[in-house]
Structure 1
Amino acid sequence: MQSIGIQCAIFPSQKTAATQLSFTKQTGHVRSKGTQETVSFTSVSTETTPVGTWRHMSSTPIKASTSGFGPTPVKRPKTELLDEEEIPTNLSEIQQTLDSLYEPGDSVAEPSETSGMDISCDYTDAKYTVFESSLRELFKTCPFCKNNCNVQRRRLGTFVSFCQVCEHCQYTKKWQSQPVKGSTPVGNLQMSAAVYFTGGSFIQMHKICRAMNLQIHHFRSFRMHARMFLEPAIFHKWKMDQQAMFQSLQPLGKIALSGDMRADSPGHSAKYGSYTLLHLDSNKILDIQLIQSNEVGGSAHMEKEGLRRGLDHLESNHLQVDYIMTDRHTQVQKYLSEREIKQYYDVWHLEKGCILWQCILTRMLIVNRQ
């Protein structure tokens, strides 16, 4: 038998580097089609376990582009250290990039290798901070012959797995620190969700973890989690709750609303504005419309456009407006009069206007006396 060392189990490379664990090579077929290559290995073991393969596991989901012609293209793995815009498409460029980013202590595990050990993942399942030296003690010696074993560590963000092989009795054991769903470690996704949903900063969280050498995934993986999982989940939850509110308000007839816009910067230089419609009886947000200034020809027109989109959305869901309370925006006044919707002024805006005029008059009186 021929024993080889594996440098990085992503692509079959002619450049090899010894690792702690060597596999016995039984088959070495390479299937090259665009961007996917695999190498199969068989682990020598006394256990009745299926053949395992170590390949690359991404902390982010893998998407296959569909062109609409022929079979679905082969999926291309993405590494945690590469942004999706920076991933090369040429095989030689991919291999050179992976060789330059390779770190022996940060190899990654393959989902198919650990899928047999996958356990049910519950959000309420407690998590603990464990030192690597304490984990290695569990796999240092063979439980049968008590000899020292070869131990290989594979890590991806908060995920870590160990493969223990005894050279004397051929005992093999594989262990992972957390479940893996598809190609994404559950702990990495839950960490991204905890930061995103609490309004925290992943960069600050990353600094804290690095200060105590606590392993965490990269910012690019966090953004991929947000784009692929977290933001679609938020949007889906919002649409479901919004439709439920619409259905509960439909039997009530006409509804009373309050609306106002919030811009990203004060004055007439705002680029984005969000117009919010509030149901006065229940104090619940019914709709939020995001407007960009170049869509409507300037920031001065964003408030009217946001109101128009919100009212159109309510009407498309069979909700009729009895009256609406807004500020004294001139375009809004004209639009509501054309739409024949009763308008009331917000007391806060009236009070702010009265205080403003009172300050102006007071200032004028002081200047005249002087």
Structure 2
Amino acid sequence: MGHDFAPMKNDLIIRAAKGEKVERPPIWIMRQAGRYLPEYHEAKGNRDFFECCRDPEVASTITLQPIDRFAGLIDAAIIFSDILVIPQALGMVVEMIDKKGPHFPEPLVSPTDGQYEKVMAKDTLAAVEELDYVYKAITVTRTKLQGRVPLIGFCGAPWTLLCYMVEGGGTKLFAQSKTWLYRYPEATKALLHKIAEVCVEYLARQVQAGAQLVQVFDSWAGELSPAAFREFTQPSLAYIAEQLPKRLAELGLERVPMILFPKGAWYALDACCSKESLGSYDVVGLDWQHDPASAVATRGDRKIVLQGNADPGILYGTHERITKTVQEMVEGFEWKKRQSGWIVNLGHGITPFVKPDDLKFFLEEIHRQTKL
């Protein structure tokens, strides 16, 4: 189905993601739409978190809030949703518990339990069709944006989703996740591949609905050893990178820039920058534990754009410290020398209790310090 969207007024992030020289580095912020904004709580009202995700109008309203509040300072919107809609589409119950986070009443216990078999048997197309509310939210949002900035779609990476599915929620130990890796390696690989297949179709449908870039969030990549990353996670990430452009072509759609965010996987940066290892990701997101200059050196001459990577905690600090952090990024990513290869972001999402005016100051500092 075709859409008649308004022409783009600001395509800075799309050009930057393609490796082009740009007049300034584009900026967007993970979790830029969310609970740190007072208007988010007004829009959410008494609704459950997932109720907001499933209501296209509410999701669209929340997505647009930072674009309206920080007009001219942010160069992309990212659809308001959650990575755990994929496990839901695969037949698992996911609840969002206030002040605790996501909870799976019936996590995957072993390859012989009924839940695992049910997930593996779920038809991929049937699963992604259950996420129609996400596609509607994207189309509504893209229409409302009127070309002000591009719209980013996203999914969780297979490994990160598997962690939630077997742990039953967030964890610090990853005991169940590691049990699956090292006790049931073949079943783990099969599950990762199943999730990757869903990710490809899900992202393709988001692009069809109007998303102009996509990001794959591998939030728990840092919990893997380098060997485990190569054996388990790298194949599923490469599958998404290779198959999504093919699926878009089948749907008569143009390829869109693809961003990979392997949080904590500093050891895998070289592989993430390699077309041979991880396919055709255009952008690699860095968390705050990367040194920008070292990351630039690791990338070398490869045509990969780096995204990030200020410590989200800097937004709790003084404006002087924010200024210093921005300066370190501008110098480390060699912005004034290259004028390419960098998309500005935090090293993860905005944390609770950040004051919107402090984020605004961070955004303004980026604009001020990157002015040519």
TM-score of the aligned structures, taking structure 1 as reference length: 0.22
Larger Rg: 1
TM-score of the aligned structures, taking structure 2 as reference length: 0.22
Q: Which has the higher helix share?
A: 2
Q: Which has the higher strand share?
A: 1
